[in-house]
Amino acid sequence: MAAQQDNGLTVQPARTAAQPGAATPGWPTSADQRIWTALGAVFIYLRSMAVFLVIWHLGSRWVGNAILLPSPIDSAEALVELFADGEIFDNVTASLSRLGVSFGLAIVLGVSLGFAMGMNRTIYAMVDPMVELLRPISGIAWIPLGMFILGVGEALPTAIMFYGAFFPIVINTVVGVQAVNPGLVQAARVLGVSQRAIVRHVIWPAALPNILVGARLGAGAGWMAMVAAELIGAPSGLGFAIEWYRELLMTPKVLAFVFIIGLLGYLLDRLLRGLQRRLTPWAQAGGGLT
């Protein structure tokens, strides 16, 4: 594939079309090429999905027990049914509203604490050991204790999801605040700007890319903690529904809910990624510190 140029150098033909997602921005791709790249990506996606579905189907035939492993067709039917009778929407709403509350709280408290720790050494020295101690403990570990204290209801899953989302947000905020280029703070100081304006207009935007990374990680962790918390600690929600249908031995519905959890988690991450691109265009463009 190597082409010989008249200067004697050997060059590889550009192969951007073969790597979707890795297409360099600003690289001279024509509209045609872009469409082919997109189509190629869709094709690869469909192909791997098809392979996965075929293996699943063969596996379920081999197991031969619809309770242990239902076929993809049964599962799809169950999914359609859940949409048709509207059952899915109640559970999705319950779970998403818990996520909204816990994630919102985690953002507000996590970012505040992260700023305090990032900007004040004393606070950092005081709080950091506690954060480091609690952080490695999975939120799930707190569920039994949480059931004693909070009982089964809204509070328990919300608290567990908050716990999962909180630490990634705190830690990434601290990193973001501490990593602010001191040159930029100096540049603001020599313009005669107040400390408040520096926090608002220099430290905040400089830390924002890291904060958003923390938010994405936090949302993911909260979403994962949700299922576990709802399995035992809630009267509604996606995790609750999984446990409900497991007890009824209706495995296709269980799988349908698992699929919904995955899909929503994915969409949530896409949403936050879009927000990241929207809020911090300079960081996406690889613009360094200047």
Nearer to another protein by Cβ, of 184 and 258: the residue is: 184
- What is the C-alpha to C-alpha distance for residues 111 and 13, in angstroms, rounded to an integer? 47
Q: Which two tokens stand for residue 174?
A: 């601290």
The residue range among 35-43, 95-103, 259-267, 277-285 that interacts with another protein, by the rule CB under 8 A, is 277-285
- Residue with token string 């779970």: 95
Instruction: Tell whether residue 187 is a contact of another protein (CB under 8 A).
Output: yes
Task: Kindly state the smallest distance separating residue 187's Cβ from another protein, in Å.
Answer: 4
Distance from C-alpha of 23 to C-alpha of 16, rounded to nearest angstrom: 6
Query: How many residues sit close enough to another protein to count as binding (CB under 8 A)?
Result: 28
Residues 191-220 close enough to bind another protein by CB under 8 A: 191-194, 197, 201-202, 205-206, 208
Q: Which amino acid is at 19?
A: Q
Q: How far apart are CA 152 and CA 146, in angstroms?
A: 9
Nearer to another protein, 11 or 187 (CB): 187
For position 188 contacting another protein by CB under 8 A, the verdict is yes
Give the whole-angstrom CA distance, residue 188 versus residue 275: 27
Question: Considering only residues 41, 186, 235, 266, which one is a binding residue for another protein as defined by CB under 8 A?
Answer: 186
Residue 288 sits in the site that holds another protein (CB under 8 A): yes
Is the Cβ of residue 44 or residue 197 nearer to another protein in the bound state?
197
CB nearer to another protein: give 33 or 284. 284
Judged by CB under 8 A, does residue 275 bind another protein? no
CA gap 4, 273 in Å, rounded: 42
> Which residues are within 8 A (CB) of 134 and not within 5 positions of it... i.e. 6 or more apart?
167
Both tokens assigned to 43: 């094709």
CA distance 95 to 225: 11
Quote the CA–CA distance of 91 and 239 in Å, as a whole number: 9
Residue among 200, 216, 207 at smallest CA distance from 178: 207
Minimum Å gap between C-beta 125 and another protein is: 15
Nearer to another protein, 189 or 246 (CB): 189
Identify which of residues 206 and 231 has a Cβ nearer to another protein in the complex: 206
Shortest Å, Cβ 207 to another protein: 11
Residues pairing with 3 in the sheet: 11
Q: How far is the CB of 196 from another protein (least distance, A)?
A: 9
Element (H or E) spanning 3, and its range? strand 3-4
Q: Should residue 25 be labelled a site residue for another protein when binding is judged by CB under 8 A? A: no
Candidates 68-76, 183-191, 220-228, 266-274 — which segment interacts with another protein by CB under 8 A? 183-191
Binding status of residue 72 toward another protein by CB under 8 A? no
Count the neighbouring beta carbons within 10 Å of the beta carbon of residue 70: 23
Q: Can residue 286 be called a binding residue for another protein (CB under 8 A)?
A: yes
Q: How far apart are CA 229 and CA 146, in angstroms?
A: 10
Residue numbers of the site for another protein (CB under 8 A)? 181, 183-184, 186-194, 197, 201-202, 205-206, 208, 280-283, 285-290
